Structure formats: structure tokens, C-alpha cells
Structure 1
Amino acid sequence: MRAIVHENENGLDGLTVKDMSVKQVTGKEVRIQIHTAGMNRRDLAVVTKRHTAEDPPLIPGSDASGIVEAVGEQVTKFQPGDEVVVNPGLGWQRKSAAPPQGFEIVGLPDDGTFAEYYTCTEDHVERKPEYLSFEEAGVLPLAALTAYRALFTRGNLKADQTVMLPGIGSGVLTFCLKFAKAIGARVIVTSRSTEKQKEALKLGADVTLSTEEDWNNSLSSENVDLLIESIGNATFNKSLDIVRKGGTIVTFGSTTEDEVKLNIRQFFYGQYNLLGSTMGSAEEFREMLHFVTEHHIRPQLDKTFSIDEYLQAFEYIRDSKNFGKIGFKIV
């Protein structure tokens, strides 16, 4: 099978397309013929941080939609021809306060979905929502699951609350925007790009502003209950300063420096809540699929690339050109 493979060199220079062997299925395994494999910023982090001198060739990728091509003799949930999506989480079945020991994400350390076929056990696969195209379903899993847990499991967002999303444009935050509006919450977004601000308004954002402006001055009449923080050091203290007293920050990522300086006295006098969030469990994955189906939510699909356009795709997400999700159309 053809696959995007990372080997020999660190970073994007180590990427190539080559033929890889197709794994035979046994037991509870299913083999999926991939239609669309969604791309996430995690994939960029994987290829830029691997020490390839010691590591074997790796197929990146965590998201996928496709058709079940073969099943092992113990499989009971699926049969060949079923349309499915891949759950990008491995080893986290039930909803819990934190992932269990041994939790992994598809695409590292084992091979992922940027290939013509992907094989996994049946408990890491769910049926594709019928109303979604393969392209839409293929870019759904990781970002939508991350958004769902951050907003609802961790952030406990309610319809009468206001959520703020600094740095709108990523797959996760566009899902956060759509999910929050689906339950009737008020949404404030920021971006350095005026075009991304305009796109956010089209999706239902109530207020948009520049990430670089004075948020307190611009939002003096707003009451931010929940803020989803994914930028890191560049915005963290602005985020803390804009959330109402007793409000909550949920952080799931850091596109700038990981380490932040915190005024602990300001924090405890403000009675703030700071929560971490990492993707989600298989139980939450099923909840998310039910939620998007109930509200007929579609991913914000920016662009798809062919498997041979791998370098353009990695550069596109590296340079934050996307508004929403991108992916590889394999079939």
C-alpha cells in the first residue's frame, strides 16, 4: 500500500511516500480502506520531534474515515462494506478524570492513518454518521473529540454562559465554536487574521476581536465564564485576566511556549479554575458522534490534499493557513 512515511531525517525532510506492507487481520482486528485521513497539528509535532536515527519508519496520522475491507474471526461489530470512522485514542475506554496509564494516540508510537489501509481492533472504530461525507467524517475524530471533552466534560459549558476562544482557526476551536452555538451559548473569538474573524462570524460567533488588542478594553461589558486556551505563553495571562472571578480556563494545547509565569495571588483571590484536557475516551467519542448527529454539525473543512501533496499539507498547517480542518483524500 502507498503511505506517507517519516524516516531518516528530523522534520519535514524525513517525509516521503513509499510502499508499505498491508497488515493481515486476526482476532478482533478490522482493516479499513482509508478514504480520507484528517490532519492535525499533532502530526506536525510528531515529525518535528522524532529522533529518527533510533526510530523505525513511521506512518503518521490519527484521523480517518473509510470502508471496512476485512475482519478477523472474532469481530462482531462490523462486516466488510461498513462505513466507519477511526477513534484516534488507544487504551481509554470509559470517561474518567484523566487518561489511564498506557493511553496512546494513533500515529505514534505505532503506525497511523496516512495510508491506503489502517488496521486496528474493532473497539477503536465507530460507524460513520450517515449524513457526513467521507471527507467530512475523515477530519472529524481527534479535533471534535478534543473540543467535546474540553467544552463539556471539563468546562461544563451551559447554554446561558459565555465561552471565549482565543486563536480561532484551528480544527479544535472551530468545533468548539459550532458545539457551543449548538447548545445556545454566547461565543467570543480572537484571531490576528481579519479574514478568520470574518469566517468565525459566518459560523455564528457573537463577538470577534484581534488576539493582539486589549481584551479588557474591548470586552468591558462581557462576562466570560469559560475560556478555551490553546496558545500558551503568548496569551495565557491575558486569558486569565479576562475570565470572570470564579470562572474557568481549560487548556488542551500550546502553539507558543509551554511554560507560563503565573501570579498565584491574583489566581487564588480570583477563585479561578484551571483545568487540563487531553482528547477523550471512547465513551466520549461516542457521545460526540451522537451530539454532532443530533445537531447535524459538519466539520469546517478547509482543504484536502492528495497523498503526493504531503509536503504542501504539512507546510499549510505549520503556517496556520487553515481555517478549520484539512486532510488527505486517499481514495
Structure 2
Amino acid sequence: MKAILFRGKDIPLSFEEVKKPKPIKDQVLIKLKYAALNHRDIWVVTEQTQQFPNGIILGSDGSGIIEDVGEDADPLLVGAEVIINPALDWGNNALVQGDSFRILGFPDNGTFAEYIAVSKKYIFEKPEHLSFAEAAAVPLSALTAYRALFSKARLRAKEKVLISGIGGGAALWALQFAVAYQAKVYVTSSSDDKLRKAKNLGAVGGFNYSDPEWMVKAQKESGGGFDIIIDSAGGEQFSKFIDLALPGGRIVNYGRTAGNITDVATKLLYWKQLSIHGTTMGTRDEFLSMIDFLESRNLKPVIDKIYPLSQLDDAFERMKRGDQFGKILVEINK
């Protein structure tokens, strides 16, 4: 089968023929239709110092059709249209992942390949209202957004929500989930075009964080601040969220595209009784709840662009530039 292999930092990704996996025990073999990129893929490529002579197949998200099963998997699964939950071995504590937790695509072989063998416990029926391409855009980013909004921030209807860095997959899912839950949603971006597109998806306001006055405008337009702030960037701007949060507000972070958080106004943190949460992926129950939520509300992902597997480098470059609005997908098998 054809696959994209990662062998180490500063070593170009290679598109080559590798051995097709065989399902064992409770595994199923999936002929992948589509995969999706995540920032995690870029972090693996740019930050991993260890080298892997045999190569590792990256990619966390995927959709496809079950072609074969291992000895402990039901043969009736063959032919099923599925998506994959990339959160592996979460553990028994819903509050935090256990020591064995990992995300599909590193160190386990992932979805940038024609086939993948995974345990049957990580496959779920593809939502009927989604195409294979749309389904591949769901797992990692939608699960992240769902846990951030509902498990961590405990969103209530009519609350005011600010989502930073709109354009990425998880941020857009957070926008769609919050709008569907009748929240009043605002977004930030350095692109006026992305702000306009977010408003078309239901955001009531947007702020360009390149504008030195964006925080003043946000406080005025929102009527004083936000109940919930969902952030994927960290960095220096995070400190502004302490000012923008209403008393009793919840701030949730799931990423670091802008680097480490620097200054936090400690007095405001305790005086306003704020809660700051970090979150990563989610549990199996949250994955099931997320799927149920988007099915019941007929939600579909925003798709930015689709590349063939052989052009994965071009897809990576687009994500690195931050040009995307929605998920960047990889077409694998038509």
C-alpha cells in the first residue's frame, strides 16, 4: 500500500510503498477514504528529535470502509462505513488521560496511508448525513471542541462565548457547537476574511487581534465580557482573556500555536473567581456524545481544501502558513 512515512526531524516526509497491515485479535482493517491534518502532525514533524529508520505513518483522523477483521472481531463488520476515534487508551479517570494514553498517528501508525488496522473499540459508524470527506474532518478536532465546551467550560444556553483564532478545525467546531446550543458567540482572528466567514456560520461578532484596540471593542460589543473563552493559541495574548472574562468565567485552552503563556493578572484571577482549564482530546463517552450532538443537529464540518495523499507536503505548507479556514483533508482512496 501507499503511505506517507516520517523518519525524523529535518528528514523530508516520503511517499512510498509499504506492507499492508493485517488485522490481529480484535482489530479491523480499514480501507481509508479520507484523512485530515491537525496541528499535531506539524508538531511531530518539527519537534521530534528521535529518528525512526523504518518510518512512522502520521495522521490521526480518518474515514473508510472495513475490509477485513481479526479473529476476535465480528465478521459482519466487513463493509461497514466508519470513522476512527484517535484517542487511544484514555484510562479509567474521565478527568484526565492515563499514562498509557496516546493519539493515533504517533507513535502508532496513523491514517496517511491506504489502509490502517485498529482495535474495533476505536471505530464508530460514520454519521449518515456526512460524506466520507466530511466524516474524516470530525474526530480529533470535534472531540477536542466538545470536551472544551461542555465537559470543561460547562456551557449553558444564552452564555457569551469568545473563541480565539477562528479558522482551525477545533475552533470552528466550537463555534458550530456553541451556536447550536444557543450561545452568543464571538471570535477573533488576524484575518478580516475569516471573521466574515465566521459570522456566516453564526458568530454575532468578530475582532481582529492585530488591532491594538480589539480588546476594548470586544468588551464594548459583548456588553462587558464573556462567560466562556475557548483558546487554541496560548502566548502573550492569553493574559487579555483574564480581563475579558466575566466574574465566574471559564477559560479553556487546548493548544499552543502562539507559544507559552506569559503573564497572568493574579489578582483578577482570584477576585473574579475565574477557572482556567487545560484540555486534550476526550473520553470514549465524550466521543459518543459528540457524535450524537452533531447528528441530532445535522452539523457538518467546514472543509478548507482537499489534497491527494501524494501531495501531503503541500497540505502541510498550507497549515503552516495558517491560510486555512476549516479542515485540510487528504483524499486516499476514491
Q: TM-score range by the shorter chain?
A: over 0.9
Q: Are the equivalent residues in 2 in contact too, given 1:71–1:78 (CA < 8 A)?
A: no
The one of the two structures with greater contact order (alpha-carbon pairs below 8 A, sep at least 6) is 1
Tell me the TM-score normalised to structure 1 length: 0.96
Q: Are the equivalent residues in 2 in contact too, given 1:29–1:121 (CA < 8 A)?
A: yes
Q: Are the equivalent residues in 1 in contact too, given 2:61–2:140 (CA < 8 A)?
A: yes
CA distance in 1, matches of 2:214, 2:242: 11
Return 5+ residue gaps in structure 1 as ranges: none
Structure 1 residues 21-30 or 210-219, which shifts more?
Answer: 210-219
Q: Are the equivalent residues in 2 in contact too, given 1:224–1:243 (CA < 8 A)?
A: yes
1:191 has 2:193 as partner: no
CA distance in 2, matches of 1:58, 1:107: 8
Amino-acid identity (%): 36
Return 5+ residue gaps in structure 2 as ranges: none
Where does residue 284 of structure 1 map in the other structure?
286
Offset from partner CA, 1:21-45 (integer Å, 9 cap, x none): 1111121110000000011111111
CA distance in 2, matches of 1:37, 1:323: 17
Where does residue 5 of structure 2 map in the other structure?
5
RMSD of aligned alpha carbons? 1.5
CA distance in 1, matches of 2:156, 2:268: 26
Where does residue 242 of structure 2 map in the other structure?
240
1:25-44 equivalences in 2 (<5 Å): 25-44=23-42
Deviation at 1:269, TM superposition (A): 1.6
Between the two proteins, the alignment pairs up a number of residues equal to: 329
1:34-113 equivalences in 2 (<5 Å): 34-53=32-51, 56-76=54-74, 79-92=77-90, 96-113=94-111
Report runs of 4+ in structure 1 exceeding 6 Å deviation.
none
CA distance in 1, matches of 2:193, 2:209: 13
Structure 1 residues 220-229 or 47-56, which shifts more?
Answer: 47-56
Structure 1 residues 78-87 or 52-61, which shifts more?
Answer: 52-61
Q: Are the equivalent residues in 2 in contact too, given 1:93–1:282 (CA < 8 A)?
A: no
Amino acid at match of 2:9: N
Q: Are the equivalent residues in 2 in contact too, given 1:36–1:66 (CA < 8 A)?
A: yes
Where does residue 301 of structure 1 map in the other structure?
303
Deviation at 1:245, TM superposition (A): 1.7
Where does residue 142 of structure 1 map in the other structure?
140
